Amino acid sequence: SCDSVTLARISVLPTVRGAATLNRSFVPLRPFTAPAQVPAALARTTAATRAEYGPAYRQNQQIGALAMHDAGFRGEGMQIAVFDAGFPGVDQIPALQPLFKENRLVGTRNFVDGGTSVFTRNSHGTNCLSTMGGNLPGFYIGTAPKATFHLCITEDVASEHPVEEANWLAAAEYADSAGVDVISSSLGYTTFDAPSKSYTYADMNGRTGISSR
Identity at 165, one-letter amino acid code: E
- Gyration radius of the chain over CA positions: 20
pTM for the model: 0.80
Per-residue pLDDT at 41: 45
- The whole-angstrom separation of Cα 146 and Cα 176 is 20
Per-residue pLDDT at 34: 54
Closest by alpha carbon to 37, among 97, 82, 103?
A: 97
Per-residue pLDDT at 37: 52
Per-residue pLDDT at 158: 93
184 CB-near residues (< 8 Å, 6+ apart): 80, 81, 82, 83, 128, 132
Is the dihedral angle over the CA atoms 172, 105, 133, 144 positive or is it negative? positive
Half-sphere exposure of 40 (CA within 13 A, CB side): 8
Per-residue pLDDT at 48: 40
Per-residue pLDDT at 29: 59
Per-residue pLDDT at 9: 94
Residues of the chain with pLDDT under 70: 24-49
Per-residue pLDDT at 4: 87
Per-residue pLDDT at 98: 97
